[in-house]
Structure 1
């Protein structure tokens, strides 16, 4: 075992479940890596809607296995600074990223080398050419987008409708669908049009008349759809004649529609996304960066759902 550190570190802690107002930065003991574990000195943590959704009330938290006091945030990136007994895959000094359910916004995070995001955390090497802020934005959104694409399986003959295309998952879903050769129509607010075009999507504003606007944009029809926000895109896709088997959701359950869950993404999906980022084939827009002390303001911004790209906490 290397680099045994004592003393205090800091972490965002919740003593009760609720909104941003219950998030506090606390001093906590420095955790130590046990057998099969590594300790990561976190440098950046990316925020996702699931972070504040999971901790919004006690019943929801219980569904995700969270109890008080709880940590916050799941996506992390940083540097291994301690390797526990039996760990040979990683060593102190390695740059890594991954997910650790509701405990990433902290000075240190303990990760099981053989774990999953929900149980023990997961860890991947950060490729050269990917900075830590970007790496901290990949795991949840990237896995979710990859799982959604796997359901509808777009290709060069497809026109894919992506609802909520400017959000954290949308920026990945749009680009992955484009890399698969598909034409992409992305829904968003009027202010998101330029950001969607930059990702390779053809923007269409949501709201009344959306189906007519999509028909005008794609008179030959839409062949697949991914709803990243609720159910409006599902309904639009059905109105446009898309078969249920080529529609998926991530934030709602609709009878007849197969939902996508990042936990079901292919094991190598996130490493492939990191490779695409490293080689410049996939862009990760960082909308805003906050220090840990400003966690409440960061969550308020992200929860407003009007951010084009990712919100990242630097630590």
Structure 2
């Protein structure tokens, strides 16, 4: 099979388009022929080696955790899926080596759910990790309830835009930080936008004089300080980027494979309450260019690799 892999850490230049053996299939896994696979900031950290201290990594390393595709073969212990089923997955295994930027990927059933019918392949491929990060942050870490006010930092980004839609679907009021040119986009998602930067806490208090019930940090650094000013209960602050949140009584969010969560995201999509904004697509062979675009950190939606 053809795959996007690295054999050493580095910049986008270390990304190679290789011919590799087809993956072996565990008894409780399915072999998926990949249609699309979303890029995530975690892919850059793995490629550069900054995640080496916390993740078991083996080379050659096929990048990617998101997948959308069609089941080609099932392991003998699998009853949940059949050949031909359309699936999505956050394929996070016990070590990092056999990722999803490939023509074929072996996926444990604990990482999969059925593809939402309303999403095309590119949208479906961009949903799993960003969607689960948002879903688990709001449901598990923050336990957002109807009528509460939630501050989402970087609300127009890949995770932030999904968190905004999920929070709105939960019945929460959302105040989202973003640059001025993304304010119209946030309003279209149901959020009240505020510009980030110096004076952010004051701008939020203009909208919510008593502060907010919860804050979801997708930026780190000063965003945590602002959250602590605005949230009375430190346990109602969660971050996906800064583990320092734990030192102040908050929650650090690391997305876990979760079939039920993926299914819930699919239900939201099929009911029209969640959409995936795809900023750009690249064929598998141009993954290095996709990595370069990801490194710029300027795209509003997801960057997705497509596989013919």
Q: Give the TM-score normalised by structure 2.
A: 0.91
Which residues in structure 2 correspond to 1:163-178 (within 5 Å)? 163-178=153-168
Which residues in structure 2 correspond to 1:33-182 (within 5 Å)? 33-57=25-49, 60-61=51-52, 63-101=54-92, 103-113=99-109, 115=110, 122-150=111-139, 151-182=141-172
Measure how far apart 1:266 and its partner are.
Answer: 6.2
Checking the alignment, whether the CA contact within 8 Å between 2:177 and 2:194 is kept in structure 1 is yes
Partners of 1:143 and 1:241 lie apart in 2 by 24
Please state if 1:25 is matched with 2:25: no
For structure 2, the 5+ residue unaligned runs are none
Partners of 1:86 and 1:215 lie apart in 2 by 55
Please state if 1:283 is matched with 2:272: no
Partners of 1:152 and 1:110 lie apart in 2 by 33
Measure how far apart 1:154 and its partner are.
Answer: 2.1
Cross-structure match for 1:215: 205
Measure how far apart 1:131 and its partner are.
Answer: 2.1
**Cα deviation code 1:246-294 (max 9, x no counterpart):** 111111012122212212x765111101111112111111111111122
Partners of 2:40 and 2:160 lie apart in 1 by 12
Please state if 1:237 is matched with 2:227: yes
Partners of 2:56 and 2:251 lie apart in 1 by 24
Instruction: Indicate the SS of the match to 1:63.
Output: coil
Measure how far apart 1:15 and its partner are.
Answer: 1.0
Partners of 1:140 and 1:289 lie apart in 2 by 17
Checking the alignment, whether the CA contact within 8 Å between 2:153 and 2:223 is kept in structure 1 is yes
**Cα deviation code 1:34-88 (max 9, x no counterpart):** 433321110100111111112212x623521112111101100100111232333
Partners of 1:236 and 1:31 lie apart in 2 by 46
Measure how far apart 1:171 and its partner are.
Answer: 1.1
The structure-2 alpha-carbon separation of the partners of 1:202 and 1:34, relative to structure 1 and needing over 3 Å to count, comes to: same
Instruction: Indicate the SS of the match to 1:156.
Output: coil
Stretch of structure 1 that moved more, 126-135 or 201-210: 126-135
Instruction: Indicate the SS of the match to 1:110.
Output: strand
Q: Give the TM-score normalised by structure 1.
A: 0.89
RMSD: 1.8
Partners of 1:267 and 1:106 lie apart in 2 by 22
Instruction: Indicate the SS of the match to 2:51.
Output: helix
Partners of 1:240 and 1:140 lie apart in 2 by 28
For structure 1, the 5+ residue unaligned runs are 1-8, 116-121
2:251 corresponds, among 258, 274, 285, to 258
Partners of 1:163 and 1:69 lie apart in 2 by 36
Checking the alignment, whether the CA contact within 8 Å between 1:54 and 1:60 is kept in structure 2 is yes
Checking the alignment, whether the CA contact within 8 Å between 2:91 and 2:108 is kept in structure 1 is no
Checking the alignment, whether the CA contact within 8 Å between 2:279 and 2:301 is kept in structure 1 is yes
Measure how far apart 1:241 and its partner are.
Answer: 4.5
Checking the alignment, whether the CA contact within 8 Å between 1:225 and 1:242 is kept in structure 2 is no
**Cα deviation code 1:199-222 (max 9, x no counterpart):** 111111111111121122223432
